[in-house]
Amino acid sequence: MTVFDGYRLPDELVALRAEVRRFVRDEIIPVEQRIDPDAAELPEADHRRLAAKTKAAGLWCLGAPEEYGGGGLGTFAMCVLLEEMSQHRMGLYNPGCGVFGRNPPPVIWGGTTDQIERYAVPALREGYHTFFAITEPSGGSDPAGAIQSRGEKRGDHWVLNGTKMFISHAHEAEWGVVFVRTDRAKGREGISCFIIERGTPGFTARPIRTIRTVAIPNEVVLEDCTVPAENLVGQEGRGLSLCLDLLTRLRFPYSACNLGVAAAAHRMAIAHAKQRSTFGVPLSQRQAIQWMLADAEVELRAARWLIWDGAWKADRGEDARVEASIAKVYSSEVLGRVIDGAVQIHGGYGVAKEFPLERWYREARVRRIGEGPSEVHRMVIARALLR
C-alpha cells in the first residue's frame, strides 16, 4: 500500500477508514449505550460477537505483521484508522473496545522466533491484553536513571526483584515485559527486558485507583520472581534501546487516539450548538461559541498533520523520535482543550453521565502524563533543536 501520496490518502485506505467508522457507529456505540457508562470492557458475549465480525471482515489486528496473522499496515495507516476506532465512549481507555484486536505486543519487534510464536502470536490471535512495565515509584520519565528493579543471573534462570508503578493491564494480562537493571555499573547499557507470565511465583499486581473510574494501572511487585533465561528479550544490557524504540512506535497511535476522541467531542459540540438556543437565538449564532468551534477545528487539523507527518517518516525508516514527541505533546494538549470547550458548550449536559464528555474530560487529563509527560517531550524537542 502506498503510504502517502502528496495530500491524498490511497483509495483503499479511505475505504478501510469508512468501514471502521461504520463499524464503530453501528456496532460498538449501541452496545456502549446500554451498559455502565464507566465500563472498562464490553460484555463478554458482545465482545466475542463483534470480534467475530471484525475477523470475518478482515479488520482484525490490522497493525500486526501479515506473517503473524495481522493486516500488515504501517504506522501511518494505523494512525488514520485509530482516529476512527477511538471515537466512542471507551475510546481513550480501550480504542475499539478490543474488537479490532490489540496493539501488537512488544515481543513482535524485539523477540526471538520462539518468543514470537509462544507469546506474541497467541496474543494477536486471541486479542488478550499484555503489559509493558518500565515506570517505577522513583519515576518513569528517566528510565536510565529511575530503574532500580534488578535482575540477577543464576544458572539458567534470572531472578527479578523490584517494584513497578502505573502498569496498565498487569492484573489481567496473560503475560508482559518488564525492564530491570542487570548491571549497576553500566548505566544505560545495564538494563534488560524480560517476559513474565501471569501466575509466575513472586509476581503480584495490585490495581491502583486513579482519576479514571476504571482501575487500569497497577503496582507490580517482583519478589524473587524467577524466569527462564530464554525469556530475555533481545540482548542483555540492551533493554533501554529496545524500550525507547517501542515507545516511539507507540506514541503515534497514542496520539491518533487523542485526535479521534477530540474530533468526536468537537462533532458533538457543533451538533449541540446548532440545536440548543438561548434567549431565542441558537448557540451557533453566538460569536463566543463560533470562535470556540473555530479554534478547535484549527487545532484538530494541525494535530492531524503533525501525526501523519511523523508516522509517514517512521514508515520510511527514518528517525522520528522528535516527531513522536511533537505529536504526543500537541495531541494530548489539544484533546484537553477541545473536550473542555465541548463540555462548556453543552453546559450541564456536558457533565452528565448520559453523554461521554464527562468521562473523556477525566481521562483526557491522564493523556498528558501517559507515554511520557509533556514536559519531558518538550525536553526531547528542545535537545534536538539545540544539539
Q: Which residues are catalytic?
A: 371
> What are 283's three cell numbers?
448557540
> What are 56's three cell numbers?
470475518
Distance, in Å, from the CA atom of 295 to the CA atom of 125, rounded to the nearest integer, reads: 42
Q: Where are the beta strands (DSSP E) in the chain?
A: 130-133, 150-154, 157-164, 175-181, 191-197, 203-207, 218-228, 232-233, 277-278, 281-282
What are the φ and ψ backbone dihedral angles of 358, each rounded to 5 degrees? -70, -35
Q: Buried b / exposed e across 1-16, counting CB within 10 Å, b at 16+?
A: eebbeeeebeeebeeb
Q: Which helix (H) or strand (E) holds 306?
A: helix 287-315
CB 196 within 8 A of CB 122: no
What are the φ and ψ backbone dihedral angles of 182, each rounded to 5 degrees? -105, -5
Q: Buried b / exposed e across 43-76, counting CB within 10 Å, b at 16+?
A: eeebbeebbeebbeeebbbbbbbeebbbbebbbb
User: What does 366-380 look like in DSSP terms, one character per residue?
Assistant: HHTTTTS-HHHHHHH
Q: Which helix (H) or strand (E) holds 118?
A: none
CB 155 within 8 A of CB 199: no
CB 201 within 8 A of CB 160: no
Half-sphere exposure of 140 toward its Cβ, with a 13 Å CA cutoff?
A: 21
Burial of 270 (0-12, 13-18, 19+ CB in 10 A): middle
Distance, in Å, from the CA atom of 195 to the CA atom of 72, rounded to the nearest integer, reads: 24
Q: Which amino acid is at 314?
A: A
